[in-house]
Structure 1
Amino acid sequence: MVKKDKPKYRQIVDAAVIVIAENGYHQAQVSKIARQAGVADGTIYLYFKNKEDILISVFQEKMGMFVSKLEEILSKESTASEKLGSMIESHFSLLASDIHLAIVTQLELRQSNAEIRMRINGVLREYLKLMDKILILGMENGEFDKTMDIRLARQMVFGTMDETITTWVMNDQKYDLVELAPKVHRMLMKGMRT
């Protein structure tokens, strides 16, 4: 396997997002991905074992953007509430700016088999651990209820964001997703304050 920091690897990952979003995961043939990436079919196999490996790599690469952005938010001097608001806005902005990625993360990944979902959950766990840091900070400094169940709070935050984005995708992006970020933040804060 060729190193994953090569330009063609990123080209293939970006092409896979488009092909999977436009055709659905099950109809996204490797040959279509190769055509979209502008590479020969065989080139795909220099970087990926199979189509499942492509889907997992897509998620790892793209989720890396979310993790990096959240790490940046966590590094800033701000309150837990401000960090939470920035996280929601960042998450919504990243997906609003790439509808193909939004379709893949919100719809296509959910249709994959259990083994793929397990591997994807491992990647998602890193993002959720960072989210926990915001929640713990808020509990420690008195912004959030000190007795709240961290696991339940995480599910509430991530689940609300996830459902809001999925609804936006399912409604053909008829409204501005990023404009909803402050409203989602306000509602979540009401549920977590003491």
Structure 2
Amino acid sequence: MNDYSFIFVSDVCLKEISMKNNKPKYKLIIEAAVDVIAENGYHASQVSKIAKKAGVADGTIYLYFKNKEDILVSVFEEKMGQFIEQIAAATSQKETASEKLLTLISMHFGQLAANHHLAIVTQLELRQSNLSLRQQINRILKPYLGVIDGIIKEGIDENLFRSDINIPLIRQMIFGTLDETVTNWVMNEEKYDLVGLAPAVHDLITKGIKAS
């Protein structure tokens, strides 16, 4: 296969993915999977349950997904893709890196606070021991971590953040803080205002990396 054939195949694959994502049944299955996995747990969520919730035949699931693992990964990929688009649009309206970071934190908390089932799936059910699944989740996370990297770099350029900080380390600390805060909120049965914590979390992070 020559280079041109490879490009052609890649283009075909991208078109197939786009066509699949734009089909109503694909969206129905994704939303049904969020509900079923949140209510039953990943391991107890049979494909047949997801199909029934989506109002489609069991066989229809396999027109879009290889297996249950593929459904879980696709749920995360779909939701994370939407979130990154929203983050990019919202942060582009902010002037400073500090404002962009606060926006990201608020939106991170807000998206999950607004969707009880999605919060359970992302914070609990994605924590699987399967190595292949973890690697796929990490791949999907990379663009979001890249958004955080961009905000940190912008803050350094603006002299808002220290120039000697280790960007990969700070990025992991920021994401880890947000992730653990949401997980704790879910584990405590969402008894308090998650979004209301955003300013305090932002203040804690920015004070730690603030330029002197």
Distance 1:77 1:12 in 2: 35
Answer yes or no: is 1:46 the counterpart of 2:67: no
Q: Does 1:83 align with 2:100?
A: yes
Q: Distance in 2 between matches of 1:127 and 1:91?
A: 11
Partner of 2:186: 169
Match of 2:172 in 1: 155
User: What letter matches 2:141 in structure 1?
Assistant: L
- 2:174 partner letter: V
C-alpha offsets along residues 143-191 of structure 1, whole Å, 9 cap, x if unaligned?
0111111011101110110010000000000001000111111111111
Which ranges in structure 2 are unaligned for 5 or more consecutive residues?
A: 1-15
Distance 1:112 1:46, change over 3 A: farther
1:180–1:189 Cα change, 3 Å:
same
Q: Which residue of 2 aligns with 1:92?
A: 109
Question: What are the superposed Cα offsets for residues 89-122 of structure 1, whole Å, 9 maximum, x if unpaired?
Answer: 0010000000111111111001251101101111
* 1:105-116 correspondence runs (5 A): 105-116=122-133
Which residues of 2 match residues 128-139 of structure 1 at below 5 A?
Answer: 128-139=145-156
User: Given residue 93 of structure 1, which amino acid in structure 2 is its aligned partner?
Assistant: G
Structure 2 match to 1:29: 46
Letter of the structure 1 residue corresponding to residue 183 of structure 2: T
TM-score, structure 1 normalization: 0.97
**Equivalent pair of 1:74/1:134 in contact (CA under 8 Å):** no
Alpha-carbon deviations, 1:43-74, whole Å to 9, x = none?
A: 11111111011011101001112211221133
Where 1:78 maps in the other structure, the secondary structure is coil
3-state DSSP of counterpart to 1:55:
helix
Identity among equivalent pairs (%): 59
Structure 1 spans left out of the alignment, 5+ residues: none
- Measure, in 2, the Cα distance between the counterparts of 1:78 and 1:122: 29
The match for 1:11 is 28
Aligned CA RMSD, in angstroms, stands at 1.2
TM-score with structure 2 setting the length? 0.89
Partner of 2:13: none
